[in-house]
């Protein structure tokens, strides 16, 4: 199945590239906005339905409760500390690199925001690092899901509430739904704040 | 990520994107409906429909392919980006593991 997912991703990239160069803006908007959001909303509904129908999942969620929030907090700290460590290893600016990794995979946010704060080069890094995070989470799902359901959730960061959520649920089962969605949701909310807060350290 | 203009100001220059909320609604409706229906009959919807996932991932790729700015910056910063990402992901996985041990999350 991962073959189908990766093929769909690659086909989409090629189609999007061709369309943006020689196609129509309307068609592009239709696919990357209406089609994307339609599929996402349908998937979230179906995933919710499957979760609600599963007696075990609901019970597990009750047992876990608010403890589940340690996951996004650990992902946030890990991303920012990891960013600092990589800056030291590469000899880059520590604060700027931490701002890049504080996007948690939300590249449409991190790219423009970091670019606005630190200029075009850092904006490009913000784009690419976070874009690769989403891409890597999808591409490696069949391997990481075998280790533990929290590994893809940690990798996915903020994307586990939308783009990588159906892929994670498909591989890790319905009981990963709430952990993944709440982690992605929390990280999406705090991403703009943490990017700006980290940038303010300078 | 597309509804970027759907945002509210939260003081001190911070802006909260409201895109999260339109995703919560279908999820909650699905969970409630599933919860209500489960005594009625045994329905096995199986896992999430692969067809819809394919459509979603295709349109995700489409957005990436259409993003000229992103594609242009890939070769320029690619190597640094990979190293930064490996560190960020490694620390994330380790801290999640440690946090779960700490609060005994199964």
Each residue of A111-137: pLDDT tens digit? 888 888 888 889 889 989 999 999 999
* pLDDT tens digits along B30-39: 889 988 887 7
Interface contacts (A, B; CB < 8 Å): 315
Q: Please name the helix (run of DSSP H) or strand (run of DSSP E) that holds residue B8, with its range, or none.
A: strand B7-9
Find where tokens 């640094």 sit: B80
* pLDDT tens digits along A134-152: 999 999 999 999 999 999 9
pLDDT for the residue B12: 46
Looking at the complex, report in whole angstroms how far the Cα of residue B101 sits from the nearest Cα belonging to chain A: 11
pLDDT for the residue A71: 94
The Cα–Cα gap between A162 and A169 comes to 11
Which residues are CB-neighbours of A38 under 8 A, at least 6 positions away? none
* pLDDT tens digits along B37-95: 877 655 555 556 778 888 888 988 898 888 887 888 888 788 999 999 999 999 999 99
Q: Do residues B25 and A185 lie in contact, with contact meaning Cβ atoms separated by under 8 Å? A: no
* Res. A86 pLDDT band, cuts 50 70 90: very high
Read off φ and ψ for residue B38, nearest 5 degrees: -70, -20
Cβ contact (<8 Å) for B47 and A174? yes
Q: Do residues A159 and A135 lie in contact, with contact meaning Cβ atoms separated by under 8 Å? A: no
pLDDT for the residue B44: 54
Residues 65 to 124 of A: which have CB under 8 A from any B CB? 67-68, 70-71, 73-75, 77-79, 81-83, 85-87, 89-90, 92, 97, 100-101, 106-109, 111, 121, 124
pLDDT at position A51 over 90: no
Give the mean model confidence (pLDDT) for residues B18-25: 72
Residue A54, helix vs strand vs coil: coil
Q: Which of A128, A142, A168 to mutate to test the interface with B (most CBs of B within 10 A)?
A: A128
* ipTM of the complex as predicted: 0.88
Cβ contact (<8 Å) for A43 and B66? no
- In Å, what is the CA distance from B25 to each residue of A49, A78, A104, B31? 12, 30, 23, 10
Closest to A184 in 3D by CA, of A122, A87, A106, A107: A106
């Amino acid at each position: 199945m991962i073959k189908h997912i990766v093929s769909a991703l690659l086909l989409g990239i090629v189609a999007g590239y061709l369309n943006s160069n020689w196609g129509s803006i309307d068609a592009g908007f239709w696919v990357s906005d209406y089609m994307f959001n339609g599929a996402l909303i349908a998937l979230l509904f179906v995933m919710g339905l499957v979760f609600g129908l599963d007696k075990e999942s609901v019970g597990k969620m009750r047992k876990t409760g608010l403890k589940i929030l340690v996951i996004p907090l650990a992902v946030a700290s890990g991303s920012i500390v990891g960013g600092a460590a990589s800056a030291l290893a590469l000899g880059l600016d520590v604060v700027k690199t931490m701002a890049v990794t504080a996007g948690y995979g939300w590249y449409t946010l991190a790219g423009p925001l970091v670019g606005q704060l630190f200029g075009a080069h850092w904006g490009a890094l913000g784009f690419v690092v976070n874009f690769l995070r989403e891409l890597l989470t999808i591409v490696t799902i069949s391997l990481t899901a075998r280790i533990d359901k929290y590994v893809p959730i940690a990798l996915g960061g903020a994307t586990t509430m939308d783009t990588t959520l159906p892929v994670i649920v498909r591989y890790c089962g319905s009981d990963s739904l709430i952990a993944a969605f709440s982690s992605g949701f929390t990280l999406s909310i705090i991403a703009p704040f943490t990017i700006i807060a980290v940038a303010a350290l300078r | 990520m597309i509804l970027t203009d759907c945002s509210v100001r939260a003081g001190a220059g911070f802006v909260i994107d409201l895109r999260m909320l339109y995703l919560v609604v279908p999820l909650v409706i699905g969970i409630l409906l599933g919860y209500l229906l489960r005594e009625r009959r045994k329905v096995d919807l199986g896992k999430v429909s692969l067809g819809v996932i394919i459509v979603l991932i295709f349109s995700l790729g489409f957005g990436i392919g259409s993003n000229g700015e992103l594609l242009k910056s890939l070769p320029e910063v690619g190597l640094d980006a990979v190293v930064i990402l490996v560190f960020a992901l490694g620390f994330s996985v380790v801290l999640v593991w440690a946090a779960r041990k700490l609060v005994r999350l199964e």
